[in-house]
Amino acid sequence: MSNLLLILILLPVLAALACFVVRASAVRRLVVPVTGGVLAAASVALLMQGPIEPWSPGALFGLSWDLIITVLDFALLGVIFFYGLKLKNVLIQLFTLAQIVLLAVFEFVMVEHAATPAFAADNLSLIMVLIISIIGSLICIFALPYMKSHEEHLHLEKSKQPQFFFFLVLFLGAMNGLVLANNVLWLYFFFEATTFCSFMLIGHDGTEIATKNATRALWMNSLGGLAFVIGMMLVYNGLGTLSLAAILSAGPQGALVLTGIAMMCLAGFTKAAQVPFQGWLLGAMVAPTPVSALLHSSTMVKAGVYVVLRLSPAYQGTLLSETIAICGAFTFLACAALAIGQSNGKKILAYSTISNLGLIIACAGLNTPLALTAAVMLIIFHAVSKSLLFLCVGTIEQEIGSRDIEDMRGLYERMPRTSFIAITGVLTMLLPPFGVLLGKWMAIEAAAGSIWVIIMLALGSALTVVYWARWGGGLMGSREPGKPSESLPLLINLPLVLLCVGAVVLSAATPVIYKTLIQPMLPGVGPAVNIGIGSLGAFEVYGLYIALGAGLVVAFMAGRRAPKLRKVAPYMGGANLGLEGSFNGPMNQPVAFGAGNLYLSEIFGEERLTMWVNILGAALTVLMIGGGL
Amino acid sequence: MKYLILALIGLIAAPLAGGLLAGIDRRITARLQSRQGPPIMQAFYDVLKLFGKEPLALNKWQIICAWVYLIGAAASCVLFFMQSDLLLIFFVQAVGAVFLVMGALAGRSPYSQVGAQRELIQILTYEPLLVLVFVCFYLATGSFNVSDIIAVDKPLLARLPLAYIVLTYALTIKLRKSPFDFSTSHHGHQELVKGVLTEYSGPYLALVEVAHWYETVLILGICALFWTTSWYWMAALLVCTYFLELVIDNTMARMTWRWMLKYVWGVGLAMSVVNLIWLYAG
């Protein structure tokens, strides 16, 4: 067991160092896939072993690991403070300095250093490790050819890839540490480590806009870090323990402890980019696509929802729980609305991520076994589908030089393979029988007893349909029969195909995932769950899956006839010229026609909505913290 | 066994009923406009004729989308007759609705593109209302399952009057009837080009038409859930509702999507909320 944990956390660190120190690209091309493979295998092995009781590693060269983590913690805060000075950002300096002071007080005055087990893992942790290690690794592998052509586009004199892969791979180790940590101080260290990695990755290209957005990400997440420290102190003050397992088994406690928990949830909110903190994740779009994919699917934002979900037993049945549900539902609705007004593919993906994270947090706040099941389902399936979509956009962008969905109209003609995968990805985000929809369905059933949450979910869910359907349909198009398909490099093709197959096949495994992974960890699996699942019927719908699957096969068989049919041109009101895409205009001149999506920007435009969304989001967040008191 | 028979009824009887209803619809509409109108079976003749035409399509996506639209609509109808979970039924019909739009987007004709965008706004408008109506069912009966909803001993209309009105809004939009029919129109100054349906022709248009019959039956089925204690009253409710739809269709002018979104969301949400609060308090 200890070996597996070491592999999962320390191997990425070593691999990252290897990428950084040995700058040759051949080394990267060897180290990254091998590390990915080992991580994936280790995560599966850990799953096979099952949950880990709270456990501490021994000492390293006679030094206790607790001490090493403490030292690293202050070092990391020092580095962040240094960047705060370098960027001349007062907020970063302020938040980091406050963290250093408070952490020093906490570590040296408050905490009585009794041995606290550093690691523990229940099924939630194991699921997270799987997501991080498998999806994260695939993204890192995808990044190898991607970054090569990315730098060719930029005409860099000196490659920055060693640094890039250093932080990319390191991120995986930090995330694994985060989800496996039992000692709150360790959790905090890994939490900060992910903040720093994401900051470095967002600012990677070094352009003015990249630096600006990286700075914003850093100050927002530093605020989260500060909230975490305060929360940690309040909780310790009330319960006298650093062990997460002990805190959770204690259940909801007095007002001060609950406020502490609320502060830690606030830290989760900033990391998961909930409104009003969504700005940093949108800004993070300037980073190279693998970074976006990593931040949005298997790391960073998932750390945020993980913390909120992890703490759910500690606020169950309190006002805090209800307010968390409302905050999450509001984010779900607001960001789905904002996504409609966008034509930038990456921005749509970003808003949809935040929206889905809101849904997960709303489920954590609803805090019933059904809702928690929905939350875990959403985490899993969102990670797969969203990473797939980001990688598709990255591939498309390198080919057509744009990430605007208007430029992707009829892309099937040019990039049939990528378009097909992207359309599949869109469908897995949107429709039954795929997992994301199952999660949404469970969330709606779970929220039926909570009037404001259900209204926001109903509206948000409809908004979601618009932006996905529009995009998926737009990618479809005509294509000359017998034209060769586009060719993709192996290391790009492989992650795309694996993720695509994974997104489809995993959905069919939903009942297995539920039975073996989720059900055992839900507290009080009794009649409540059985009734909940029974009314849901989610796990007895194999018949439906088979029917829909068979239907799709029929549809595709029918679609194969298309090349044999007589070719027709689109309808132009009888004014076709015989030229594809143009009609007979004034003076008998050919006029190219154009059609664009309706973005409903007078209602859903970013500049119209953002201010109000932020104000409401901030008010709700304050309400949430107040809900603890 | 019982469910298998119910499923078969849903699969076979629903489109027949839907087609018949389409014929009656045209007949009554004609009478309202002082015309004679086609025979009641005209809708079937039309579809049979379409099936006999040469299959033409712009690309394979369109064919796939037409088929999936039909499959989604049929599956949701079958699920309804099997008395399954309302939310599941809702999501499965959404499969069909989404694919119809995607098929229209796959064609390069500006008319079908505009129609698709408008159809999306129609979906956006009715979807939340349907979900909230289902939540009303849940609060009134404690279950999302059609089988449990049928089992109530008093007509649900008494407890969900506002939800019923909300549902009729959704019905009008889903059936693409005036004042909410802008996704299946409009070519300059005539009605020959049908927006989202522009690029579907021949057998594929026939598929779309049959799918539409399934959808009509599904929505009327949901309306029927409001009065399950007596067959007579259920029939009376459905006849009145559909007739009302026809009258509205023939007396109202088409509206813009802006008006629809603001008005239907505003009024629909308000009524749903009032009915929901009523149920929560009760």
What does the pLDDT look like over B59-72, one tens digit per residue? 888 899 999 999 99
- DSSP H helices, B158-256, are 161-174, 202-224, 231-251
What are the chain A neighbours of B131 within 8 Å (beta carbons)? 444, 454, 457-458, 461-462
pLDDT at B191: 53
What are the chain A neighbours of B111 within 8 Å (beta carbons)? 571, 573
pLDDT at B268: 92
pLDDT of A104 strictly over 90: yes
pLDDT at A349: 93
* Cβ contact B199:A571 at 8 Å: yes
Copy the structure tokens of residue A212.
Answer: 């600006």
Band (pLDDT 50/70/90 cuts) for residue A81 is very high
- String of b and e for B238-256 (b: at least 16 CB within 10 Å)? beebbeebbeebeeeeeee
pLDDT at A528: 37
Please, what is the Cα angle at A273 between A269 and A278, to 5 degrees?
130
pLDDT at A533: 46
What does the pLDDT look like over A316-365, one tens digit per residue? 989 999 999 999 999 999 999 999 999 999 999 999 999 999 999 999 99
What are the chain B neighbours of A430 within 8 Å (beta carbons)? 98
What does the pLDDT look like over B237-265, one tens digit per residue? 999 999 999 998 888 888 888 888 889 99
Window 128-167 of B, Cβ < 8 Å to A:
128, 131-132, 135, 138-139, 143-145
Q: CB contact, 8 Å: B122 with chain A?
A: no
Pick from B75, B104, B117: which is nearest to A597 by CB?
B117
Higher pLDDT, A577 or A166: A166
Of A190-199, A265-274, A290-299, least confident by mean pLDDT is A290-299
CB-based contacts of A224, cutoff 8 Å, min separation 6: A191, A195, A266, A267, A268, A269, A270, A271, A277, A304
Q: Which residue of B has its CA nearest to A468?
A: B98
In this complex, how many residue pairs, one in chain A and one in chain B, have their CB atoms less than 8 Å apart?
203
* Full-model pTM: 0.94
Copy the structure tokens of residue B210.
Answer: 């049959």
pLDDT of A526 strictly over 50: no
pLDDT at B188: 47
* Cβ contact A237:A110 at 8 Å: yes
pLDDT of B189 strictly over 80: no
Round the average pLDDT of chain B to a whole number and report it.
Answer: 89
Q: CB contact, 8 Å: B81 with chain A?
A: no
A386 burial via Cβ count (<10 Å: 0-12, 13-18, 19+):
buried
Higher pLDDT, A611 or B189: A611
Band (pLDDT 50/70/90 cuts) for residue A629 is low
At B241, which amino acid appears?
T
What does the pLDDT look like over A529-584, one tens digit per residue? 443 344 344 445 667 777 788 888 888 888 887 777 777 777 777 677 666 667 77
Q: Which residue of B has its CA nearest to A601?
A: B258
pLDDT at A530: 40
Of A448-462, B113-127, B169-183, least confident by mean pLDDT is B169-183
Pick from A459, A565, A570: which is nearest to B55 by CB?
A565
- Which helix (H) or strand (E) is A64 found in, with range? strand A63-64
What does the pLDDT look like over B5-31, one tens digit per residue? 888 989 999 999 999 999 999 999 999
Which residue is listed with tokens 């007396």? Answer: B251
Q: What's the ipTM?
A: 0.94
CB contact under 8 A, B121 and A600: yes
What are the chain B neighbours of A470 within 8 Å (beta carbons)? 101, 105, 117, 120
pLDDT at A455: 94
pLDDT of A4 strictly over 70: yes
Window 405-424 of A, Cβ < 8 Å to B:
410, 412
